[in-house]
Amino acid sequence: MRSVNPNQKFSYDEFKRDYVERKMMFHRKPSIAYCKPFRIFGNLYYIGDKRVCSHLIDTGEGLIVFDSGYQHTIHLLVQSIWEMGFNPADIKYLIHTHGHFDHFGASNEFRALYKCTTVMSRVDTEMLRDKPEGALMELSSDPDAELPIIDKTFEDGEIIALGNTSIRCVLTPGHSPGNSAFFFDVRDGKQTYTVAYFGGAGFNWVRKGFLDRYNFPYSLRNDFIKSIDKVRGEKADIVLGSHPGQYNLFEKRKRMEENPQSNPFIDPGKWERYLTGLKARYQEFLVNEE
Ligand SMILES: [Zn+2]
């Protein structure tokens, strides 16, 4: 999705026109977003595309997948799962980082075909029910966009466990009311590293224009800051996000290919640096929007 220059005057109509135009092109040819999947570390894999992240954990007793991307890119995701040597039918949990259309688009299809349990925070699941337009957004202008059926919801701090993996789910409202962060360990038989995964981090959905349009409280703007501070003290070796640019996925992947002996994804200082940068950019955005 296009990032908006915070210094530019925001025109919703222009933004929407531009967005729909790009989206139609993307609809005609979703393969432009294909990204070769790869192992990030141990039992953690990148299976998303160039625009929206999906991650896979092999727990030893089934697979956990985070986010299902757009509905029309489902074949890219399925292809990536097979390419990494897994069968999508082994997905036990499909966990959604938050309730926005670009992250849950293919959820119902995965659920129908592979019988996985779909998961989302209770707060965002309620948003789907009470304010579906705030989840689908008219921006999606997508004839095949539909709301996901959520089988299991979680509260702040709840653990989702499967096989060798326990995922701690932490609410980080702001980008959406029930946006979430996730903390869990990954391993390769010798080493164990802790992953910190921040869900939605874009600022567009807390613009006053958007909040007004979808009737969300302005308090989400302050929640965004509080959420960053809430998870700041967590210890993490690997940082993930819900869009590739959020954690410099492609730059790290390139470095990994150039030097297979090193793993740039393992970076214990990254979480702190990431949140510091996010907070600074967010504060700048707030000032510029006034
Ligand atoms: Zn989002």
Span 99-114, pLDDT tens digits = 999 999 999 999 999 9
State in Å: Cα 105 to ligand 1 middle: 12
State in Å: Cα 135 to ligand 1 middle: 9
- pLDDT at position 9: 53
State in Å: Cα 160 to ligand 1 middle: 22
Question: Looking at the domain assignment, is residue 155 inside a domain?
Answer: yes
- Say how far apart CA 266 and CA 17 lie, in whole Å: 40
Question: Looking at the domain assignment, is residue 182 inside a domain?
Answer: yes
The model's pLDDT over 251-278, given as tens digits with 9 standing for 90+, comes to 999 999 999 999 999 999 999 999 999 9
State in Å: Cα 95 to ligand 1 middle: 14
State in Å: Cα 59 to ligand 1 middle: 26
State in Å: Cα 273 to ligand 1 middle: 21
Q: Please state the rounded mean pLDDT for residues 60-67.
A: 98
Question: Looking at the domain assignment, is residue 3 inside a domain?
Answer: no
Question: Looking at the domain assignment, is residue 6 inside a domain?
Answer: no
- pLDDT at position 269: 94
Confidence of residue 92 (pLDDT cuts 50, 70, 90): very high
State in Å: Cα 9 to ligand 1 middle: 22
Q: What is the CATH number of the domain that holds 79?
A: 3.60.15.10
Question: Looking at the domain assignment, is residue 135 inside a domain?
Answer: yes
Question: Looking at the domain assignment, is residue 1 inside a domain?
Answer: no
Mean pLDDT value across the chain = 92
CA 11 to chain centre: 26
State in Å: Cα 99 to ligand 1 middle: 7
Domain span holding position 184: 12-289
- pLDDT at position 25: 77
State in Å: Cα 52 to ligand 1 middle: 10
The model's pLDDT over 34-48, given as tens digits with 9 standing for 90+, comes to 999 999 999 999 999
Q: Please state the rounded mean pLDDT for residues 70-88.
A: 96
User: Residue 170: pLDDT above 60?
Assistant: yes
- pLDDT at position 133: 84
What residues are neighbours of ligand 1 (ion), with CB under 5 Å? Answer: 100, 200
Question: Looking at the domain assignment, is residue 4 inside a domain?
Answer: no
State in Å: Cα 175 to ligand 1 middle: 6
Measure Cα distances from 98 to 8, 9, 143, 245 in Å.
27, 28, 21, 17
Give how many domains the chain has, as a whole number. Answer: 1
State in Å: Cα 239 to ligand 1 middle: 18
- Give the predicted TM-score (pTM) of the model: 0.91
The model's pLDDT over 119-148, given as tens digits with 9 standing for 90+, comes to 999 999 999 999 888 887 765 556 566 899
Question: Looking at the domain assignment, is residue 130 inside a domain?
Answer: yes
